[in-house]
Amino acid sequence: MLSKPTTDHVIHGVVRSLEEIVLPTITDEPARVAVQMVQQILRSAAVRAAHEIAWMHEEIESIRTAAAAFAEEPAVAEALGALDELDPTLLELADVQARYDRAGEVLSRTVEAAYAANDGAAIGRTRQLLEQRSAHEMAIVGQLDLVGRG
């Protein structure tokens, strides 16, 4: 496999070609909007291609740490058990995504346990995890442009 240019670099090259070669030739408004949507989607895909496996791994470990305080709660324990059924050493995207999905459920149940206990510190810890996730998401979204609206 030729690994350079990297996947994100390839995608950014495609976006640039759409901008410089394709868009200037399109006069049909719905088609222009479609191409602009494609560009935004591709930019997001480029960021994900570069980072998503690392980001998902990091978040899974952070969630596990935050959930430890409620590991005796049956709902949280069940979700942690489901997460532990999956092999953390597998690096195929589908495998990492499956673990990330289960870790998300662990986080949700930890949030609910923290609110049920009215535990402000624990609520704050789960909030920090979501803020971390949101920071990654905003790197993926970039500048949100609602093309074609209004």
Partner 1 sequence: MPERLAAFLAAREQGVTDVEVTSYRVMTGGYSRLLARADVTWQRHGEPEQRTFVLRGDPPPDRSLIHTDRSYEWDVLHAVAGRARIAAPIHFDATGEHLGTKAIVLEHSTAMSLLPYCAGRDDVGDLPSRLAEAAASFHTIPIDDLPDSIERPPSYDGYLTSRIDEWRGTDRAHVESEPFLRYVAAWLDAHRPPPVPLTLIHGDFQSANMLVDDDGHLVLLDWELAQIGDPREDLGYFKAVAQAAPPDLTDAEEFCAHYRELTGFDEAQVNPAIVSYFLILGVIGTVRRLLEGGAAFARGENHLLASLFNLNSVQFGHMMWMQAMTQLEAALASADQSGMA
Please report, as ranges, the residues that interact with partner 1 according to CB under 8 A.
29-30, 33-34, 37-38, 40-41, 44, 97, 100-105, 107-108, 111-112, 115, 126-127, 130-131, 133-134, 137-138, 140-141, 144, 146, 148-150
Q: Which CB atom, from 1 or from 121, has the smaller least distance to partner 1? A: 121
Q: Could you write out the DSSP letters of every residue in 79-114?
A: HHHHHHTS-TT--SHHHHHHHHHHHHHHHHHHHHHH
Of 3 and 30, nearer to partner 1 (C-beta) is: 30
Q: Which one, 41 or 71, has the nearer CB to partner 1? A: 41
In the complex, the smallest distance separating the C-beta of residue 3 from partner 1, rounded to whole angstroms, is: 26
CA distance 51 to 117: 35
Of 71 and 147, nearer to partner 1 (C-beta) is: 147
Closest approach, Cβ 13 to partner 1, in A, equals 20
Least distance CB 144 / partner 1 (angstroms): 5
Smallest separation (angstroms) from partner 1 to the CB of 1: 26
Q: How distant, in Å, are the alpha carbons of 1, 95, 103 from that of 57? A: 24, 11, 10
- Taking CA atoms, 131 is separated from 9, 54, 123, 128, in Å, by 27, 17, 12, 5
Nearest of 62, 47, 134 to residue 100 by alpha carbon:
62
